[in-house]
């Protein structure tokens, strides 16, 4: 499988380059960055702190050089890459977060023509947590208060994280709630007693935290916490390469890591 990485100069991009070298049956053939980026023309291996790989960073992507494009950038450049893949009939793995509803609709439309893995978190462990959250919410029902806490590095631009929001969506669906109307994002001042039908979110941004997520189910006399802590971006990069190998053999459709891992 020939893979292109979009956003190779970023922290996740460099981890993806490293993960591609350890991924079986995977050949990194294209390293993509934004127009005029200072990294253009640099060997992507050197950029990632490794030995030279003979692949230069480019800002003029050519779909003839890859089978699957892996994207961890921002919503706008991610959608541009999606258009390239859609036109060329190539598969795509999207790990970017922060899409609005209209942008998500564009992804779904493209997935009717090409295979797309779109997941807010590529970690195997996080996706196992998604499965556990659904089970916990169905068992506990409306007898608990639900709070979601997440922490990331100081450079992360969207909040709450895409992973935290997806956790909220899973819990809300299991409890037959609409997250758009039951979510509470932070609290301040005299707020009164907590409404049990709400799902609370708390966000921390500090230092170099890779990614911590906890979902708290709190009842009277006991509480259950489901937590995932990432200590390295390689957990996401390795999962993304696993998704790339998987999606390269799939028909057009919109998939996520639950599909890749066989957890449905």
DSSP the chain: -EEEEESTTSHHHHHHHHHHHHSTT-EEEEEE--TT-TTTTSBHHHHTTSS--S-BEESS--GGG-SEEEE-S-HHHHHHHHHHHHHHT-EEEE------HHHHHHHHHHTTTSEEEE-S---HHHHHHHHHHHHHHHHHGGGSEEEEEEEE-TT--SSS-HHHHHHHHHHHHHTT--HHHHEEE---S---SPPTT-EEEEEEE-TT--EEEEEEEEETTEEEEEEEEES-THHHHHHHHHHHHHHTTS-SEEE-HHHHTT--
Q: Catalytic residue among 90, 152, 213, 228, which?
A: 152
- Catalytic site includes residue 156: yes
Longest dimension (CA), the chain: 61
- Tell me if 218 sits within 8 A of 144, measured CB to CB: yes
Question: Considering 6, 90, 104, 156, which one is annotated as catalytic?
Answer: 156
CB 36 within 8 A of CB 10: no
Active site residue 152: yes
The residues assigned a catalytic role are 152, 156
């Amino acid at each position: 499988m020939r893979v292109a990485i979009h956003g190779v100069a970023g922290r996740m991009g460099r981890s993806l380059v490293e993960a591609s070298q350890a991924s079986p049956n995977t050949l990194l053939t294209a390293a993509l960055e934004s127009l005029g980026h200072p990294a253009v023309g640099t060997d992507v291996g050197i950029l990632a702190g490794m030995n030279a790989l003979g692949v230069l960073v480019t800002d003029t992507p050519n779909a003839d050089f890859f089978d699957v494009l892996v994207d961890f950038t921002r919503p706008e450049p991610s959608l541009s890459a999606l258009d390239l893949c859609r036109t060329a009939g190539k598969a795509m793995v999207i790990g970017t977060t922060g899409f609005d509803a209209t942008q998500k609709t564009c992804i779904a439309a493209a997935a009717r023509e090409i295979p797309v893995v779109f997941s807010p978190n590529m970690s195997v462990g996080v996706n196992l947590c998604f499965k556990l959250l659904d089970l916990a919410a169905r068992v506990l029902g409306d007898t608990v208060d639900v709070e979601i806490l997440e922490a990331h590095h100081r450079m992360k631009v969207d909040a709450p994280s895409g992973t935290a929001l997806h956790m909220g969506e899973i819990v809300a669906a299991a409890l037959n709630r609409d997250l758009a109307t039951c979510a509470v994002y932070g609290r301040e001042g005299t707020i009164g007693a907590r409404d049990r039908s709400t799902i609370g979110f708390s966000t921390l941004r500090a230092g170099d935290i890779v990614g911590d997520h906890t979902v708290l189910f709190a009842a009277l006399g006991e509480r259950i916490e489901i937590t995932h802590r990432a200590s390295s971006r390689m957990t996401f990069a390795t999962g993304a390469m696993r998704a790339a190998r998987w999606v390269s053999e799939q028909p057009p459709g919109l998939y996520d890591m639950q599909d890749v891992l066989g957890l449905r």
